[in-house]
Every structure is written in structure tokens, then in C-alpha cells.
Chain A
Amino acid sequence: MAHPTRAVPHNDRHFPVGCLCLLLILAGLAGCSSSNQVAQQSRTAASAAQTVSMVLDAWVEGAAPSAYATAALHSVGKTLADVEAQIRSAEIAEPAGRAGLTAAVNSLSVAVAHAEAELRVNNRTEVKSAQQDLRAAMRSLAAAYTSAFGPKP
């Protein structure tokens, strides 16, 4: 989350086949922890928010039809609601970190709902305003993620 715009990953370490099983077991165990699930949900929210940002940019430039943009925002809105519920119900060591993430995801949901409502009535000015809200919410999410999962002093 500290790097929401991930550069194209390229890795030239070659794998010994025998490592695969160990890797799967370790990753599987890691995947079971609640903290990891919250981190994963936060990344889903970030990816969803970037999707909304791209859809809105395309719509404003006339490169995406309104029906598509509205449906995309509606679908992402449901994803964000689901993410928020999952983060809320997860048990993690630092409730403060969870509260920050929940608030940030909620802000994203509000911005997306605002954008979707304005898209339905074709109000470009308000859609641009919702875009700004969305960017602010994305910054909040990045900050909350760093606070919850970043290196501690």
C-alpha cells in the first residue's frame, strides 16, 4: 500500500523445483493469519479504487460510455462494501490500525457512491469533484495501511 502504483515486477531469480512445496506450505500458513487477510483486503480496496479512478478518467475524456462506467462503479462499490465488512470483522492485534483502514475504505465507498450518482445524471462537474474525494480517500488508505503494516520505529 505504501507503493500503490507497483512497477512492473520482473524477477530473474530462477526457482529450484524442490522449493515449490515448501513455498506453498509457508505461504498457505501465512495466508491463514487475520493480519494478512486484512492486508490483502486493503490491497483489494486500493486496486478497486485505482480501477474507479481509471474508469472516471476514461469517462471524463469520452473514452468510456456512461452505462459501462456506471456499472463498473456499482460493481466496485459492492467490492468496497465487502472489504469494509471483512476488515471490520477481522481480529487483529492493533484495533487502532483496523479503525484507520475501515475509515479509509468507508471514505472510498462514499466517494464511489457519489461518483456513481453523478454519473447517472451525467453531471461532469460533480463527477470531477468525486474524483478529488476519491484521490483524498486513496491517500488516507495508503497512510492507514502504512500505519497498520509499515515498519515500526
Chain B
Amino acid sequence: MKKLLEISLGVVTSVGGFLEVGSMATAAQAGAAFGFQLIWAIVLGTICIIFLVEMAGRFAAMSHHTISEGIRERFGFNVFLWPLLVVLLVNFMVLSAEIGGVAIALELATGIGFQWWALPVALLAWLLLWKGTFGFIEKGVSVLGLVTLCFVVGSVMLKPDWTAVAGGAVPSLPAHDAINYWFMASSILGASISPYLFMFYSSGAIEDKWDESHLGANRAIAGLGMTFGGTISIGVLIVAALVLATRGIDQVDDYHQLPLMLIPIFGFWGFVLFVASLAIACFGAALEVGLQQAYLVAQGFGWTWGEDRKPRDDPGFSAVYTASLFLAAIPIVLGLDPLRLTIFSMAVTAASLPLTVVPFLFLLNDERYVGEHRNGIISNAAVIFIIALAFVLAVVTIPLQIFGGT
């Protein structure tokens, strides 16, 4: 019974953590511009992240190391420095975009410009990290994130042609705007296969003191949680396709367009639900990414770390999330468009994937860390596929954006 509760909470946490400003914005843009045609990118991204999250959890449970610690220990600090710097930079942009997402939600709710909200949002996030425990951050905010299920409810209420929806799960050539199509596909994959997601998951497993007995729960949480998260992203895409595209709105390049997705379905409550979804999902993600920055640096330099410790017991760890949150708020305070920043950060995430995914192949096959629970043929095939995909994304994403990605 306790295990079942643990799995349920884990699934809820994963659902809450999956949908954030990146997955919401890319799914909305994809649905508006290409209808159901890019569902395959969400499905592919979800399958990839299921494998990576399962491996990150298994690695943590068996070795009592996070992925970052594993990379540093296995390959040495000089090798670890590159993924450390790249992930810190990518996470910085993602964190900024998430703070921007909450700030947009507050602008929509109050009419006060998003720039004015960035610092208060960073302050609130910092206060929660400073005072809160890992369980509170992980479960409390993520449970609230279930409000994003309104996109799934909305997509069902719109009665889509489910055959066409299923058809979208199969990759196909675009009928128009080929560059934008492939750029959107790359961004969706970047939003789905976020390094912060699987790195945070492995740190969380250590915070929750996972051991070998958690391997079954890990598999269930990774599979069910990420699948539910992917389903919500598909819900956003379906709603955008059926509400925006059918009304001639095929370019979503202004965040004021986003609430229009739910208004025709739920009326005024659609506006409220959208604002709540955006605020809660982005705030939860901001907390997770802020923490992940601190995990990464503390684990990389071998400092004491842990969200459940008092800040005076891990000053370096606390200083990193403090600095990360306030520095990430600056671009939004300066008026950088959060939607553009989001799309750009998703593209950069996609381009940086090889650095974070390649180590999985070595760490998860090293008996010194995972013992008899090392990767089997399917997991290794999945990692090799993800690495190949990561290299393709790294090569094509930035040129696609330069040549006309939205």
C-alpha cells in the first residue's frame, strides 16, 4: 500500500514536472501551424525521456550517485566540466523562460507588465527553496500542476477525429513551411528531452533515499508519469489545432494568443484555467530548474548538498540556487520576450543533448555502479538511438532557426 502511494505520488510529480512553458509553447505553435502533424515529435520525445528517466532513477537507486556525480567520478572533472558548463547555460535560459512564463501568467491576470513580475517571482521561488523541503517542492507544487489536465479535458470536449490524431503519431512530410516544421519538431524534442528533467530525477531519488527496492517503482513512475506528461502536451497540441488553426491563427508568436486556446471551450473559465496552468506549471519548473542548478554545481565540486538540509549546512548549494534564480530573472526584467526566449532555449536544449546523453551509455553499463542491473539490449539500443537523435538535433536545430524557424 505504501509502495502504491509512493508510485502514485511519483506519477503525479512527473506529470506536474513534465509540462512547462517550453512544452506548452512548442505544442501550441506546432498545433496551430501544422495541425496534428507533429504529434509524432511529442510521442518520440516522450519515449526517449521515459528511457532516460528510468535509467537516471535506476542509476541513483543502485549506485547512490546522481548522474552528475557519476559523470564526474567516472570520467574525471576535466571531462565533466563541459557538460557542466553547457547544462548550466542551457538551464539558465530555461529558468529564465520559466520565470518569464509565470510573469506572463501574472500579466494576463492583472494587466501589469510581465517585466514587473520577474523579480517577485524569483523572490517567491527563492523563499520556497530556502524554507521548504524537497518533499514540499516535489509533491506540493506538482500536485497543483494537475490543473494542466484541463488541456486533455478540453481536447476530448472538442471531439477531434481520433483517426487523424493517431495518424499524427506517424512522421510525415509537411505540406508547407518545411523549415518551420523541422524547427518545431526539434524544439518539441528539446522541450521533451530536457536534461534538467532526468538530472533532477536522479537527484530526487538520492534525496528520497532510493535503493534497490525502488527499481519497480522507478520503472512505473518513469513509464506512467512521462506518458501522462506527454499526453498533456498532446492535449495542448490538439486544442491548438482545433481552436487556433481552424480559425486561421496558424502563427503563435505572441503570448497573448495562448489563452485563446481554452476560451472557446470553457468560456471565461478557460482564461482562468490557462493562466493557472501557465503560472503553476512554470513556477514548478522554475523551482526544479533552480534546484537543479544547485545540484549540478554542488555535485560537480563535491560540496555538501540537499534541499532538506538547512541553508547554513550547505551554503554553497543554497548560494547557487539563490544566484541562479535572481540572475535568470534579469533578462525578463529587461523586457526580453519570454515566448521567444522559450523557443530559443528549447532549440539550444536540443542542440546540447549529446553532452548529457552520451554518458548514459557508459554509466548504465558499468557494473561498479549498477551491479547486475546494467542496461539490457533494449535500453542500450534506446540510448544509442537517443544519442544519434541528439547529434542530428545538435547539427540541424540552430541552422533551422537561422533559416526561418519561428
Interface residues of A (CB under 8 A from B): 4-15, 19-20, 23-24, 26-28, 31, 43-44, 46-48, 50-51, 53-55, 58, 61-65, 67-68, 70-72, 75-76, 79
Interface residues of B in 250-278 (CB under 8 A from A): 250-251, 253-254, 256-257, 259-260, 263-264, 267-268, 270-271
Q: Which residues of B contact A46 (CB under 8 A)?
A: 248
Quick one: closest B residue to A58, CB to CB? Answer: B263
Complex contact A64–B248 (CB within 8 A): no
Do the beta carbons of A51 and B260 come within 8 Å of each other?
Answer: yes
A9 near B175: Cβ-Cβ < 8 Å: yes
Decide yes or no: A68 and B175 within 8 Å by CB, A10-B167, A43-B251, A63-B263 being known contacts: no
B260 → chain A closest CB, angstroms: 5
Q: Are A61 and B173 in contact (CB under 8 A)?
A: no
Contact of A8 among B36, B249, B254 (CB under 8 A): B36
Minimum distance in angstroms from A108 CB to a CB of chain B: 13
Contact A68 to B247, CB < 8 A, known contacts A8-B35, A51-B260, A75-B254:
no
18 example contacts (A-B, Cβ-Cβ < 8 A) are as follows A5-B246, A7-B245, A8-B245, A10-B164, A12-B167, A24-B396, A24-B403, A27-B177, A43-B251, A47-B250, A50-B247, A54-B260, A63-B263, A64-B263, A68-B108, A68-B111, A71-B107, A72-B254
> From residue B340, how far is it (CB to closest CB) to chain A in Å?
13
Q: How far is the CA of A46 from the CA of B83 in the complex (A)?
A: 43
Select from chain B the residue with minimum beta-carbon distance to A14.
B172
Which of A20, A27, A28, A47 sits near B249, CB closer than 8 Å? Answer: A47
Q: A15-B171, A51-B254 are in contact. Are A64 and B403 (CB under 8 A)?
A: no
CA–CA, A67 and B109, complex, Å: 8
Question: Nearest A residue to B170 by beta-carbon distance?
Answer: A14
Contacts of B179 in A (CB 8 A): 24, 27-28, 31
The residues of A that contact B164 with a CB separation of less than 8 Å are: 8, 10
Would you give the 0/1 interface string for B23-45, flagging 1 where the beta carbon is closer than 8 Å to chain A?
00000000000111100000000
B129 within 8 A of partner (CB): no
B135 is an interface residue with CB less than 8 A from chain A: no
- A14-B170, A71-B107, A79-B254 known; A8+B246 contact, CB < 8 A: yes
> Which residue of chain B lies nearest to A54 when distances are taken between CB atoms in the complex?
B260
B213 within 8 A of A: no
In the bound complex, CA of A12 to CA of B174 (Å): 9
Cα of A12 to Cα of B182 in the assembled complex, Å: 16
In the complex, what residues of B have CB within 8 A of residue A75's CB? Answer: 254, 256
Report the bound CA distance from A20 to B178 in whole Å. Answer: 9
The answer to whether A64 touches B259 (Cβ under 8 A) is yes
Q: Are A12 and B172 in contact (CB under 8 A)?
A: yes
Question: What 5 additional pairs, Cβ within 8 angstroms, besides A8-B242, A50-B248?
Answer: A9-B36, A48-B251, A54-B247, A68-B271, A72-B257
In the complex, whether B404 has a CB less than 8 A from a CB of chain A is yes
Q: How far is the CB of A124 from chain B (nearest CB, A)?
A: 16
Could you say which residues of chain A place their CB within 8 Å of the CB of B78?
none
Residues from chain B with a CB closer than 8 A to the CB of A54 are 247, 249, 260, 263-264
CA distance A28 to B403 in the complex (A): 6
Judged by a CB distance under 8 angstroms, whether B400 is at the interface is: yes
B168 in the interface (beta carbon within 8 A): yes
Centre residue among A13, A62, A67, A68 by max chain B CB count within 10 A: A68
Cα(A27)–Cα(B251), bound, Å: 18
Closest-by-CB residue of B relative to A61 is B267
Closest A residue to B267 using CB positions: A63
By a CB distance below 8 angstroms, the chain B residues around A11 are: 37, 172-175
Interface centre among B176, B242, B250, B270 (most CB of A within 10 A): B250
Interface residue? B241 (CB, 8 A): yes
